[in-house]
Each structure stands twice: as C-alpha cells, then as structure tokens.
Structure 1
Amino acid sequence: MPRKRGGRSNRARAVENVKPRIHQRWGAQLLLAFWRWLPELALAGTTATVFVYLVRMNLPAWAAGSVIVAPVAVALVVPYSGRILVAVFWVDVTRHRLRTFMAENGLRNRSGRLPWLLFIYPTRVGERAWMVLVGGICVEDVEERIRSLGSTCYARSGQVQVHRRWTHLIRIDICGQRN
C-alpha cells in the first residue's frame, strides 16, 4: 500500500492549540516568572537567611528550625493573628489560581497576553482582586467564564464589576472561600 506524503489531516480540531506568547525574549519571561513568584521567593530567602545565620551562631539545626517555626505556630494558635495568616495564605493561593483561571479559560488576546493582576486582598467573605484587561479582552469575556472561577479558586462564586471611570479596570470578588 503506498504511503501518503505531505498534506494535512482531515480531522477537525476539537481544541484550539494557541501557545501563549506573552513576550518572546527569555529575559522578559524570567522577569515575569520572578515577579509572579516574588512573595514565595522572598519568604524562602528570608527563612534560609535566618536559618543559616542561626546555624553559624553554633545553634544546632533542629534548634534553628524550631526558632523559625515556633513564632509561626504561636501566631496560628492565637485567634486574631491566625485568621490574618490564613487569609494571607489564601490570598497567595488565589493569586496563582486566578492566573490559572485566565489561562485555562482562554482569557487572552490574539497575541497570547493575559490580563494583569494588579493586587489582591482579603475581605470578610473571600478575596477581592483588581485586574487590568489588555487590548482584545473585554469585561463580557470575563463575565462569560466567571462560573468556572469557583472551581478554579476553591470558592462558591465570583462577581465581576467594571470600574466606573476606566472600563479596562475590573474588580473580581471571590466569595465564600474556606471559612
């Protein structure tokens, strides 16, 4: 049987295969990754620096680890500070999950750029995130896909509101988190 050469498959593509090309240069990619992971890198760097400092002061490794873990454990046990630490933890998790939500739901423009997450902070019922939409994405695109936000960010629901003055600035309220 002769072998076919060249040509494309006649199969219909069920999934659009768009490779995100935020910035083509590796330096820009490295800078974006650093910015995205800055809180975690800062925490890891601070912890490692304190640990090395304590070990160099002739403290055993187990004692240096205890000195680092004990204040966090005490803060978690105290009710008010424990709630603050847990809220800060979930803000950090939600920050990464929002990026996953945007990437997995195709909230990108034709160039592959995702919306910018300006800042995120805890509220009484969850988190509130402010985002800047890049050219090619409108608030209706986000509102269409907001139902999947609950499963992505471990929440019950989400609401989108547009800024009164600037339509490219939106607020996402992520409600009913793990309380």
Structure 2
Amino acid sequence: MASANHNPIDIGISDGDRKKIAEGLSHLLADTYTLYLKTHNYHWNVTGPMFNTLHLMFETQYTELATAVDEIAERIRALGYPAPGSYAQFQKLSSVKESDGVPSAEDMIADLVKGQEIVVKTARSVFPASEAANDEPTADLLTQRMQIHEKTAWMLRSMLE
C-alpha cells in the first residue's frame, strides 16, 4: 500500500499507524464484501418451508452489509490508502470463504453464522492498532461492526436451535 506523498495527511496518526490500520481494514472490507456476496447468493437461492422468512432476512442482512462495505472503504481512503476493490484482491484478503453450489436452507444459515463470526474476529483483530494510535473514528466503526455482526450471528444461530 502506498500513500500519496504530494499531499501529506496530518490527522494526528503516524504514517506507520495509518498503514497498519488501513491494512487491517482492508481485510475487514474483504471479509464484509465476501459475506455480502454470500448472503445475496443465499437470498436468491434459498428454498424450503422457511423461504419467505429467510429470503427477507437475507435481504435485510445483505443491504446492511452493502452499506458497511462503503463505510469501511471510505475509512481506508480517509487514512490515505487505496481501498481494495476487485474479486482477486478480496479473495487474497478475505477469511470468509465463498460457497460452492446451493446448500440447504439450514446449511445456509449455519454458513452465515460462521461468516458473521469471522467478520467479528477480523474487526476485533484491527481494534488494538486503532486504539494504540488513538484512532477513535476507526475504533468506533469497528465497535459498530462487531455489535452488528455479533447480533446477526445470534439471530441466525437462534434459527438453528
């Protein structure tokens, strides 16, 4: 990642810290985008007795994820780094794996629980760097993301009990 030097950024966070945080956020962006894509796929392809419930639930979730992707990418840009934006980059950076085929509705739910939990762990892993640099905007973004993904994982997990 290369920062543009012709217009130096002076926001009270060192170049090294901004780079480290932006790299962590790039992983979070990739995880979030991959989870967005997977959730949208499941929205399109879910079948079975819970079709209507899951179709609507997945739509709510992918819509929220689409907004999150934008917020994360914009934070990376505000820190002075380019946001990754290709499937190739996301595949390298993401801990969320794409799914093959069309799983059963129950397997979709279980897979999305895993995806939500992975995103929480990625967000949590970036938090120490943002905290150490006194980067409150990133810390706030990470806190919001963790809260949303933990709640969504709980709601999905509840459907499996």
Q: TM-score, normalised by structure 1?
A: 0.26
Q: TM-score, normalised by structure 2?
A: 0.28
More helix by share: 2
More strand by share: 1
Q: Give the number of the structure whose alpha-carbon radius of gyration is greater.
A: 1
